[in-house]
């Protein structure tokens, strides 16, 4: 980093998450976009693909050595597709924020079972820091490799970690609903307008890949069911659980994020529009005897992906943690 400016590369900038990173970096006061890759848009200028961004840098491919001149590279590729590239960048001395699940798991064997692959660089797992900013800030500062958490996972972990760490939650059921952009940019009839408009459906029942990530990070068994909403972006997670002390649980939730810029407790139940187009997570809770319900909302592309990734970059390079990140939803 020179003169407080971070040289940034983005791999996979044509996907929804990668494009959001591109948008945030283009407006970041301490970042200089140095390299951007996309197989689909190779050779085209950023401004030709995304007319709203006045950037004349051309898309290259992942083999371009300019990536190794960056201070940090965001790797926004599908799960398993970028693990080897991440290793090459780390070996070259470049710091990496990986938006996939390839380095999120402490247990490499668990990752291999969930994603049904052999990890190409298990040696880097010990180096990787799980990028849940509000919990791992100190480790993130010195990290060479940050594994950005999953979107559903972030919406559940932020309210539930304070309870799980204090032994105040058990029998946890997470019922989450996401906008369609969470499925990624792909040509698939199941995610087309005609299949989704005026529709609402569950998927990945008992086998969604984010469930093991939630359980590993909380240390608790979590029964997780995701649903697809006919909206572009946003996640609303309703989490049901039992608690031995409702008063202590409510106090833990209200005080866990005091002073944080992007996570807060609300006295009223938040809605997706509360946080859409922001890097915030807002949650609220109600209790009835030993039963508790938390409602948590995030923007899946920001706090659930690109926003948290840039927040991680800010921490890594000693910048203002909120630099370049939106805090308020459009009215």
User: Closest Cα partner for 68 from 99, 92, 45?
Assistant: 92
Q: How far is CA 233 from the centre of its chain?
A: 13
What's the confidence (pLDDT) of residue 62? 81
Residue 184, pLDDT score: 64
What stretch of H or E contains 315? helix 306-316
Quote the number of domains for the chain: 2
For 87, other C-beta atoms within 10 Å of its C-beta total: 18
What CATH number corresponds to the domain at position 228?
3.30.360.10
Question: Looking at the structure, do residues 187 and 247 belong to the same domain, yes or no?
Answer: yes
Same domain, residue pair 28 and 111: yes
Which residue in the list 151, 164, 194, 281 is annotated as catalytic? 151
Structure confidence by residue, pLDDT tens digits, 102-140: 999 999 999 999 999 999 899 998 899 999 999 999 999
Residues 122 and 100 in one domain: yes
What pLDDT sits at residue 3? 79
**Statement to judge: residues 169 and 142 lie in one domain:** no
Residue-wise pLDDT tens digits, 7-18: 999 999 988 999
Q: Which domain holds residue 239?
A: 151-298
Residues 157 and 138 in one domain: no
CA atoms within 13 A on the CB side of 140: 27
Task: Say yes or no: 272 and 288 in one domain.
Answer: yes
Residues 12 and 122 grouped into a single domain: yes
Same domain? 67 vs 90: yes
Same domain, yes or no, for 83 and 27?
Answer: yes
Q: Indicate whether 324 belongs to any domain.
A: no
Check if 151 is active-site.
Answer: yes
199 occurs within a structural domain? yes
Q: Which tokens go with 218?
A: 């909380």
Co-location of 82 and 66 in the same domain? yes
Convert the pLDDT of each residue in 51-66 to its tens digit: 988 888 999 988 778 9
CATH number at residue 122: 3.40.50.720
Higher-pLDDT residue of 197 and 274 is: 274
| 91/86 Cα distance (integer angstroms) | 9
Cα 320 from Cα 73, distance rounded (Å): 19
How is residue 60 annotated by DSSP? B
Confidence of residue 186 (pLDDT cuts 50, 70, 90): low
173 & 293 share domain: yes
The answer to whether residue 187 scores a pLDDT higher than 60 is: no
């Amino acid at each position: 980093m020179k003169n407080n400016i971070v040289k940034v590369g983005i791999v996979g900038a044509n996907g929804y998450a990668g494009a959001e990173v591109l948008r945030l970096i283009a407006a970041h006061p301490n970042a200089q976009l140095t390299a951007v890759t996309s197989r689909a848009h190779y050779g085209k200028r950023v401004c030709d693909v995304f007319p709203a961004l006045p950037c004349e840098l051309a898309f290259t491919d992942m083999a371009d050595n300019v990536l190794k001149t960056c201070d940090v590279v965001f790797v926004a590729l599908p799960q398993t597709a970028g693990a080897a590239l991440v290793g090459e960048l780390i070996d070259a001395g470049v710091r990496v924020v990986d938006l996939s699940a390839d380095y999120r798991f402490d247990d490499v064997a668990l990752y291999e079972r969930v994603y049904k692959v052999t990890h190409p660089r298990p040696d880097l797992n010990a180096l990787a820091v799980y990028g849940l900013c509000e919990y791992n800030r100190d480790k993130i500062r010195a990290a060479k490799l940050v594994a950005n958490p999953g979107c559903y996972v972030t919406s559940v972990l932020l309210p539930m970690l304070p309870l799980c760490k204090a032994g105040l939650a058990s029998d946890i059921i997470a019922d989450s609903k996401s906008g369609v952009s969470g499925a990624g940019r792909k040509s698939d009839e199941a995610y087309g307008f005609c299949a989704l408009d005026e529709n609402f459906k569950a998927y990945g029942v008992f086998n969604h890949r984010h469930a093991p990530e939630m359980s590993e990070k909380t240390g608790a068994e979590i029964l997780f069911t995701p649903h697809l909403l006919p909206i572009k972006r946003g996640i609303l997670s309703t989490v049901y659980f039992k608690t031995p002390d409702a008063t202590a649980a409510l106090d833990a939730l209200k005080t866990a994020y005091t002073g944080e810029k992007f996570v807060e407790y609300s006295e009223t139940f938040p809605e997706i529009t509360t946080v859409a187009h922001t890097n915030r997570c807002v949650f609220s809770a109600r209790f009835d005897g030993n039963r508790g319900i938390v409602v948590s909302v995030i923007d899946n592309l920001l706090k659930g992906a690109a926003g948290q990734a840039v927040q991680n970059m800010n921490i890594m390079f000693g910048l203002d943690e909120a630099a370049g990140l939106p805090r308020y939803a459009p009215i």
